[in-house]
Structure 1
Amino acid sequence: MKKLFVLALSLVLGVSLSYAAKVDTVLIHSTVMNRDIKCVVVLPDSYDKGAQQYPVLYLLHGYSGNYANWVKNAPDFLKCVDQYNIIGICPDGNYNSWYFDSPIDSTVKFETYVSKEVPAYVDSHYRTKKDRKFRAFGGLSMGGHGALYLAILHKDFFGAAVSMSGGVDFTPFAKNWDIARVLGPYEQNKERWQLHTAQHLAGTLNNGDLAISFECGTGDFFLGVNRALHLKLTNLKIDHDYAERPGQHNWDYWNNAINYQMLFLHRFFEKGAGTSKS
């Protein structure tokens, strides 16, 4: 019955069945927003074959996206879940929440939902390794910003963050992507906007607080802000991985990028388990 359900879900989402990872969709209740929100759970093929516990990657979608984007558009993500034995969790961040607890709209509390309520559900329903050394955020575009923003704010609970084409400083794009809806108009709220950027929060880090990796395509409109974040972290002597590769702001780039970022996380998780090799 489970195989039939997974087949049906895969057909609905348009996902190839060339991988063995198990894809499911669950409803996770948000107390702070008083509603149930869909979330994709991707379990490695090995999950049903033993009793081991697994590290978890919370992988965030971009602007105008939803919880199903990664499994629909990035088959390499599913391949890496199997390859590295990592549970993948894709929560819904609303199409334009930017993963904030909005200071002006009480119905938008996606920082709390994604960083607290979703992990609480996941840890209680799946065999996870319940330690920050085995929890990470990742994401693309708006979700790349969210991955860094949330991991920095909650570094006591998450140990790593990876970002692909992240909008790590959105202040140069004040009229784009409905950000004003969750933070207020830029011209009247410049300080508030800056305080909510990953670029600003990076200044609160001490070296070793988080394992950080981020990248951006050389044809991407977010290239400049990613280079600026790389320079800031370098000047602050914060260890991190940074890469630029040919590519645009699209799924061709992100499907390739997830391979590099999940390898980075695999090595981080292995270090946490004391099994990394020199």
Structure 2
Amino acid sequence: MANYNGCVRSETMQLNTWVQVITPDGTKKGDPPYKVIYMLHGTTGNSMDWVRYTRLPLYACEYNVVFVVPEIANTWCRNIPDRGNFYNYIVDELPDLIGGMFNISDRREDVAIMGNSSGAYSAMKCALSRPEQFGLCAAFSTAGVQMDEYLNLLRLQKPEDMENPHMRSVFGPNLEYTDEDVLLKLAKRASSNRQKPQIFMSIGKQDFLYDANEAFSQEMEHLSFDYTYEAWDGGHDWYFWDQSLNRVLQKYYQKHQ
């Protein structure tokens, strides 16, 4: 595999930002465009995590896909005043930037978005709000599946006692949200679309987010998606996320001959 690790200039966010691009071995001029998977990291992570802590570089060769791992910081993929338009960067600008540099397909059936924890939330948000753009979404140990309820709960806590104070840097001091931040509302809207992504969600049975993901899955079962939900023994960690990525690739991709 080849690993590009460098900066791109984002006009959307008015800053230089890091991105990792992992390509299969033996790519050459004249190859058909490669399928692409955008991988989003969690709240405390960065663009190196998926490369350092999983077998993702091996998967790129095994399944003949290109992985793109951008920086989304602690933003839950929102457009945040004075911090950057991270949502528009991921769904609009980044595909154009990477498409200009690498031989990747822009056909929706060849484009997937995946992530872990808050990156899983971000992947779901992007796929459900742009169902015409992403053919597949995979979300591992998804945080924020009940974002409206969670923010309402945090709002009742005293600022000095708030269990997750960094959310104020994402949703503002008053923890305000819109329908665009609530996954179930996005899913209900997207379910009526002619084009919509296949969705795969996984959660470890020992994960602190297990109950919330179980409840969310029950709601998703009533909607019109090609939807898969799997739970097995595991925690909120890279062992589980690597297993999840491996399962998704086995289910939706063919091994390279």
Name the TM-score class by shorter chain: 0.7 to 0.9
Letter in 1 for 2:54: A
The 3-state SS of whatever aligns with 1:38 is strand
Identity %: 24
Contact 1:98/1:179 (<8 A) preserved: no
CA distance in 2 between counterparts of 1:177 and 1:39 reads 27
RMSD: 2.2
1:206 aligned onto 2:191:
yes
Q: Which has the higher strand share?
A: 2
Name the counterpart of 2:169. 181
CA 1:177/1:250 → structure 2, altered by over 3 Å: closer, same or farther?
A: farther
1:86 aligned onto 2:71:
no
Mapping of residues 13-24 of structure 1, within 5 Å? 21-24=1-4
Pick from 151, 158, 173 the counterpart of residue 127 of structure 2: 151
Q: Which has the higher helix share?
A: 1
TM-score (norm 2): 0.87
Q: Which moved more, 1:85-94 or 1:219-228?
A: 219-228
Letter in 2 for 1:259: N
Shift of 1:116: 1.3
Mapping of residues 21-170 of structure 1, within 5 Å? 21-48=1-28, 51-75=31-55, 77-94=56-73, 96-102=74-80, 105-167=81-143, 168-170=145-147
Contact 1:161/1:210 (<8 A) preserved: yes
Aligned residues: 242
CA distance in 1 between counterparts of 2:216 and 2:187 reads 8
- In structure 1, the gaps of 5 or more residues are 1-20, 271-278
CA distance in 1 between counterparts of 2:97 and 2:42 reads 22
CA 1:160/1:193 → structure 2, altered by over 3 Å: closer, same or farther?
A: same
CA distance in 2 between counterparts of 1:81 and 1:89 reads 11
Shift of 1:195: 4.2
TM-score (norm 1): 0.81
- In structure 2, the gaps of 5 or more residues are 155-162
